[in-house]
């Protein structure tokens, strides 16, 4: 029996997890089962010691704490599932304790840097117009890049000024878009109409008329960052972080930002309050006589 396939089906159908999360679970489990096969251990008969030996080996081989944490969570969910389905009598991960992770504050751009980035993507050619529309929408809404590139024409409501997003776990949320973002989207639509083939409804299209990929958009973003003279590490997620941080710095309610970002827990959103506190510390250090 293919236990991984059964578990993945459970995660997809019953838990509704995001595709990338499920891929990560699958990768971890294949690595785990390959290890058990190598040491000739029957999955259905392993003990707590077998699991901890495997994890210790991963740590010795240089697995970083965050990846180790994910691996432990994968094994815990998998074995819990195996017991629930009656494949195993006991859970060998029941007493596993994940390592404590230090909170990693997200990178963000300043308001001035965001303006430089957006202005570096100016021009009337199709590529510039499309990319400016994508950047403006990303910063205006805080979408994940996977959500951005999967948008369709049907997701945008121009008259009411919002975008309908299908996020992690197939959850839908409504996010407002401002006048600037709508302006650049409408400027892009005539170019899109010329590229659209076979009645496609995808919003952002490549020069071949296919849906823009995450990798291609990331490559374009890096080029504009260089053009703007931004030396910070920049990814599409940095614009999402900047969106959230700038909203909170401007006085937005934390619950409002949580809803916009599509976080299931407000604890995830609270990290951006720490980012703002770091900004306050920087200002204090810069301007206070004894800073």
Catalytic amino acids?
Answer: 144, 168, 237, 240, 263, 272
Do residues 12 and 22 touch, judged by C-beta distance below 8 A?
yes
Do residues 215 and 145 touch, judged by C-beta distance below 8 A?
no
How many residues appear in the chain? 291
Among the listed residues 129, 166, 141, the one whose alpha carbon sits nearest the alpha carbon of residue 242: 141
CA distance 255 to 276: 16
Do residues 120 and 136 touch, judged by C-beta distance below 8 A?
no
Cβ neighbours for 100, distance < 8 A, ≥ 6 positions apart? none
Cβ atoms within 10 Å of 222's Cβ, excluding its own: 14
- Rg (C-alpha) for the chain, rounded Å, is 23
**Alpha-carbon dihedral 13, 14, 20, 21, rounded to 10 degrees:** -160
Can you name the residues that pair with 157 across neighbouring β-strands?
162
Chain-centre distance for alpha carbon 231: 22
């Amino acid at each position: 029996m293919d236990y991984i396939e059964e578990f993945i089906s459970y995660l997809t159908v019953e838990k509704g997890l995001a595709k990338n999360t499920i891929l990560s679970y699958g990768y971890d489990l294949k690595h785990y089962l390959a290890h058990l096969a190598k040491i000739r251990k029957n999955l259905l008969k392993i003990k707590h010691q077998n699991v901890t030996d495997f994890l210790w080996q991963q740590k010795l081989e240089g697995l970083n704490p965050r990846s180790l944490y994910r691996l432990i969570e994968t094994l815990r969910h998998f074995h819990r599932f195996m017991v629930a389905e009656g494949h195993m009598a006991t859970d060998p991960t029941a007493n596993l304790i994940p390592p404590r992770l230090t909170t990693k504050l997200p990178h963000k751009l300043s308001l001035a840097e965001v303006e430089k980035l957006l202005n570096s993507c100016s021009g009337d050619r199709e590529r510039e117009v499309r990319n400016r529309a994508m950047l403006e929408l990303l910063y205006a809404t805080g979408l994940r890049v996977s959500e951005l590139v999967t948008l369709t024409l049907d997701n945008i409501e121009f008259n009411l000024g919002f975008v309908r997003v299908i996020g992690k776990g197939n959850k839908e949320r409504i996010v407002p878009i401002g006048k600037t973002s709508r302006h650049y989207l409408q400027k892009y639509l005539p170019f899109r109409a010329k590229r659209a083939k076979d009645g496609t409804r995808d919003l952002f299209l490549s020069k071949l008329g296919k849906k823009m990929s995450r990798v291609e958009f990331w490559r374009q973003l890096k080029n504009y960052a260089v053009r703007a003279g931004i030396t910070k590490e920049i990814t599409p997620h940095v614009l999402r972080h900047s969106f959230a941080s700038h909203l909170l710095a401007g006085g937005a309610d934390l619950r409002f930002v949580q809803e916009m970002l599509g976080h299931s827990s407000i604890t995830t959103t609270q990290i951006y309050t720490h980012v703002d506190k770091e900004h306050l510390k920087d200002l204090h250090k810069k301007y206070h006589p004894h800073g």
